[in-house]
Structure 1
Amino acid sequence: MSFITDSVIMFISQILFFGFGWLFFMRRLFKDYEVRHVMVQFIFSVTFALSCTMFELIIFEIMGFLDPGSRFFHWKLGLYSMLCMAVLILPFYIAYYAVGNTRIGPFHRNRFITALVSWFVFIYFFWKLGDPFPILSRKHGILSIEQLVSRVGVIGVTIIGILSGFGAVNCPYTYMAVFTRNISDGDIYSLEKRITQTIDMILTKKKRYIKFGTAATQEQKKSRMQFVWNMISGGSAGSENISHLKNEVDALEELSRQLFLESVDMHATKARIAYSRTLKGRYFNLMGYFFSLYCIWKIFICTINIVFDRVGKTDPVTRGFEILVNYLGFDVDVKFWSQHVSFFLVGIMIVTSIRGLLITLTKFFNAISSSKSSNAIVLCLAEIMGMYFVSSVVLMRMNVPAKYRLIITKVLGDLQFSFYHRWFDVIFLISALSSIGFLYVAHKHVPEKIS
């Protein structure tokens, strides 16, 4: 009877997650598009619900909620369903809708066959992905769950490392007022004056361009033989003037676009300066200093882990309480408090992971999507989301006390978990250092454009 009750609880929670994913799809992703396919919306919402279910089971594991047998069953069911979505269903539908956007006759008429062939190509490269990495021992068969989880983990951990590295650098850069340029009203007025002058020059030269063009047309009508001779001899002075004016107009139009973008950036910076003086802005500025210290510490730790091939054996919460007890002399029940603090921290990690990924997916979708490609892009984002959350469970395993890792290890299979943590450190370090270099160049380049 407890199994039925637990299943009802899980089913209701999955319906709620599915509904949230459905509303998010309608209100955030496709709010600017009239073309909506119910199948795309359904697949995205199912993927989101399965992702949240895995995080929910981690919290239930720490709380001791539901029967252990029920939790294990729903762990298996959720993981198999997610792998089925990420490896079988989503790649096929991505290819199906991508082919639908093409106007190449043979491919468009045989969308199903083309999508099926594309799916086989995906499976081949997906399977070959595991060859260069030490992710499995040879005892696992070709159809074992470890074969799929290990390859999804490589892709997902790579995505997590890239996003985490960029976010760790970009967050303090965005929040801290010290990185904000000092923009005055005079700077904005001067730039807008340059824009007005550039537009006036464009109009003047276009008038001259039209004038020369009209004169050349009249000259051609008066003397056809002279026109033929000019063409043979390499053109006339009028045609050279027209070509020169056209090049000047193109250059000035490009300059006006750059100045306009700079004007938008300066207005945004001005608003950011005003926001930084508010109470909320000062709070985020303080948080920026905190995240900058965290970024430096994370880069240092990742470097140490890579150089010395080090992987933590104890979760951070338990390790922190052990330091308090052994070195500071505090009388603390490590097992009792580590369980409660782990529940709190894991909950924060889950909420921030879901929120951060949804915000990133929304920005990415709005930047590259169109009415024709939106369905395929949404499915690609769902594929990334599924692999991201499966890999998050693999990495989050180290952040919970040892007794809660047993069921996660049992569900995911006999993987080389230490490899994924080292791989995350490598990708995070590359992403963070690349982001620092990119933001440094961008920050230094902006004043040069103003001058």
Structure 2
Amino acid sequence: MLGIDIYDAGVIAGSQIAFFGLGWLFFMKQLFKDYEVQQRMVQISFSVTFALSCVMFELIIFEIVDIMNPTSRLMAWQFALHSMLVILIFLLPFYFFLSCCRSLFNSSTAVLTGTTVVLWLVFIYFFWKIGDNFPILSTKHGILSIEQAISRVGVIGVTVMAVLSGFGAVNAPYTCMTIFMRPVTDEDVEQMKQKVRQNLHMIIAKKRRLLQLEADLSKSAFSMSSNREEGFFRRVIGTVASLGTGLRDQIGTIKAEIEPLEEFGRHLFLEMVELNNGKDRVEYSKTLQGRYFNVLGYFFSIYCVWKIFICTINIVFNRVGKIDPVTKGIEIVVMWMGYEIDARFWSQQVSFALVGVIAVTSVRGLLITLTKFFNAISNRKSQNLIVLILAQIMGMYFISSVLLIRMNMPLEYRQVITTILGDLQFNFYHRWFDVIFLLSALASILFLYLAHKKRPIR
């Protein structure tokens, strides 16, 4: 028994180290590939959060495949879950507020620590108040129980999941299907390049004129200072002064003309980039892989319509599924097709495959989204703060994924997750996911429709 425990501990420790290395590599190669890492603690926090998130998915698969003994799995679950909650509620918010205070104030350590503690207490207050507005927890649990923390983390995480899922379900077919692509030809791209060049030539010509006028103004100012003490040249001084005033007016006029030209040039450049991207998309759609993604886009479209319909039905009739998709599928095969199969064996195999696919796609999808979001808004001053926020979102996202993935598992495996997470109102989270998903999908459809209509090729 002791050898098995040591083996189980080695499996969990090795997995944690491997996932930590993957998180570290992703952090360096994707998030910080264009920036210099300033705070090592930020990188460690992100990698540890990523590793614990992956370990929780791994433990779900271990429950299905029955790897490790039940006692070791329970201890690993408790370690991963408690560690994640400590990081999400205490460490990441505290270090985020400390980093903010360091960047804003140049005070003593005591002042920075005191300010950080006050801000963290404010965060805890609002984090706790989230639970007052949702039926997320049974009243029998104490104020310091683990259910109190998971229930509030779940609300935030499920909201993030639903928003991302709603947008992804709409955006995936929009980006994959050729029907939404605008025809872009080489002539369109060449005409836009010509406009960019013409605008650039105009800016250069006006800046040359501006430099010449500034040089003339400096010469006139030198003439005024050299003749200021001589009475004979007072008329000349007046003439030079009036000339200087005229030069200043011309300089102001040219500067006023250059500014809108530069702004117009930026818009032209962005439109040229958009045309090039559209041209590349059209060419890519003609390849074998592009045609594959086009077919996949139709599948995503059907899934999006079906998901919106199902979410609407669930919301209107206050319905939550009781049977997981695996068991339901096996029942259909047995009842309607007449096949005699080993239900327990195939339930385990299909559940393993389904959970594995959900885990991989969840991790991959979230990392891609985090990379795009970070590259869009980060700069060298805010990069560390943004990564801490992304780590916070990632941890809550994956805890919520475990909470929601429970419904996709047969009852015998579902009970284990129920025991680990505690006595939560699981049905509420599924209804909340449906509501936010529906709102996110409809808002994404409206946004992409308006964006598509407002982008004519000029």
TM-score, normalised to structure 2, is 0.90
Secondary structure at 1:129 match in 2: helix
**2:408 counterpart letter in structure 1:** N
Moved more, 68-77 or 216-225: 216-225
CA deviations over 1:332-355 (Å, ceiling 9, x no partner):
443332221111011011011111
**Distance apart, 1:358 and its partner CA:** 1.4
Cross-structure match for 1:100: 102
Cross-structure match for 2:19: 17
Count of residue correspondences = 444
Cross-structure match for 1:251: 260
**Distance apart, 1:198 and its partner CA:** 1.3
1:351 matched to 2:353? The reply is no
Cross-structure match for 1:275: 284
Aligned counterparts of 1:258 and 1:300: Cα–Cα separation in 2: 40
Match of residue 46, structure 2, among 44, 51, 57: 44
C-alpha distance 140-209 of structure 1, shift in aligned 2 (>3 A): same
CA deviations over 1:147-190 (Å, ceiling 9, x no partner):
00000000100110111111111111111111111110111111
Aligned counterparts of 2:361 and 2:237: Cα–Cα separation in 1: 74
1:395 matched to 2:394? The reply is no
1:171 matched to 2:180? The reply is no
Match of residue 342, structure 1, among 351, 362, 365: 351
Aligned counterparts of 2:110 and 2:266: Cα–Cα separation in 1: 42
Match of residue 90, structure 1, among 89, 92, 101: 92
Cross-structure match for 1:298: 307
C-alpha distance 258-109 of structure 1, shift in aligned 2 (>3 A): farther
1:407 matched to 2:416? The reply is yes
Moved more, 165-174 or 315-324: 315-324
Aligned counterparts of 1:118 and 1:287: Cα–Cα separation in 2: 47
Equivalent residues in 2 for 1:285-434, closer than 5 Å: 285-434=294-443
Match of residue 293, structure 2, among 277, 284, 288: 284
Secondary structure at 2:133 match in 1: coil
**2:37 counterpart letter in structure 1:** V
Q: Is the 8 A contact 1:101 1:373 kept in 2?
A: no
Match of residue 67, structure 2, among 65, 68, 90: 65
**2:18 counterpart letter in structure 1:** L
**1:260 counterpart letter in structure 2:** F
Q: Is the 8 A contact 1:276 1:285 kept in 2?
A: yes
Q: Is the 8 A contact 1:145 1:413 kept in 2?
A: yes
**Distance apart, 1:227 and its partner CA:** 8.9
C-alpha distance 109-196 of structure 1, shift in aligned 2 (>3 A): farther
**Distance apart, 1:212 and its partner CA:** 5.2
Aligned counterparts of 2:204 and 2:160: Cα–Cα separation in 1: 48
**Distance apart, 1:88 and its partner CA:** 0.9
CA deviations over 1:55-90 (Å, ceiling 9, x no partner):
011001111221112212211121111101111111
**Distance apart, 1:208 and its partner CA:** 4.2
Aligned counterparts of 2:170 and 2:411: Cα–Cα separation in 1: 31
CA deviations over 1:108-159 (Å, ceiling 9, x no partner):
8733222222211111111011111110121111001110000000010011
CA deviations over 1:351-410 (Å, ceiling 9, x no partner):
111111112212222222223322222222111111111000000000001111111001
CA deviations over 1:301-323 (Å, ceiling 9, x no partner):
11111111111111112112223
Q: Is the 8 A contact 1:305 1:425 kept in 2?
A: yes
CA deviations over 1:193-232 (Å, ceiling 9, x no partner):
11111122223333444555566667776766679899xx
**Distance apart, 1:37 and its partner CA:** 2.8
**1:65 counterpart letter in structure 2:** I
Aligned counterparts of 1:188 and 1:46: Cα–Cα separation in 2: 46
Q: Is the 8 A contact 1:99 1:107 kept in 2?
A: no
Cross-structure match for 1:26: 28
**1:383 counterpart letter in structure 2:** Q
C-alpha distance 201-401 of structure 1, shift in aligned 2 (>3 A): same
Cross-structure match for 1:204: 205
**Distance apart, 1:275 and its partner CA:** 1.2
TM-score, normalised to structure 1, is 0.92
**Once superposed, what is the RMSD of the aligned Cα atoms?**
2.3
Aligned counterparts of 1:214 and 1:90: Cα–Cα separation in 2: 56
C-alpha distance 199-108 of structure 1, shift in aligned 2 (>3 A): farther
List runs of 5+ in structure 1 lacking aligned partners.
Answer: none
